[in-house]
Amino acid sequence: MIVVAKKDVVVPLVPAALSALLVVGGMTVFSACHQRPDGTWMQCHRCQNTVVASAAGLVVVFGAAGFVQNRAVRVALQALAIVVSVVVFFIPGIICPLCMMETMRCHTVFQPFVRIMSVLVSGSGIVALVKSLRKGKAA
């Protein structure tokens, strides 16, 4: 039986937790523009769905990396997730178009939230990656 210290599991799971906050926030409080009265969606809704799906993938990859014992696999998963989190930063407004008016919810609420959260996710992912790399050298 392998005993893993709590701090060895907590640090790698921080980016997964922040990614989960991005999923929940992107779907609820910080969502893009609401549905139109006629039942259709603004073009930014597709962008919201892309961000939420990407963040859900980050939860899975960062979460898996937190429990993988093989150092090479853990580092590869963390590096992949960091790249994806950087891509998520560029989804609203650059990769995926938002509404034309700068005063709409997708520009004023959704885009800043996604940008801030993706920076936090990638930053904490980098910390977890560095910790994983150093842990391998110390052992």
pLDDT of residue 5: 54
Could you tell me the pLDDT band of residue 11, with boundaries at 50, 70 and 90? confident
- The sign one gets for the Cα dihedral 82, 88, 89, 95 is positive
Give the pLDDT mean for 79-90: 97
**Three-class secondary structure assignment of 110-124:** HHHHHHHHHHHHHHH
The full DSSP string for 1-30 is: -----HHHHHHHHHHHHHHHHHHHHHHTTT
What predicted TM-score, i.e. pTM, was given to this entire model?
Answer: 0.89
pLDDT of residue 110: 97
Measure the CA–CA gap between 93 and 80, rounded to whole angstroms. 23
Could you tell me the pLDDT band of residue 12, with boundaries at 50, 70 and 90? confident
Question: Which one has a higher pLDDT value, 8 or 72?
Answer: 72
Could you tell me the pLDDT band of residue 9, with boundaries at 50, 70 and 90? confident
Structure tokens at 17: 């937790």
34-80 pLDDT, tens digit each: 999 999 999 999 999 999 999 999 999 999 999 998 999 999 999 99
Give the single-character DSSP code of 36.
P
Does position 3 have pLDDT exceeding 50, yes or no?
Answer: no
Write down the residue that tokens 């392998």 correspond to: 2
pLDDT of residue 137: 60
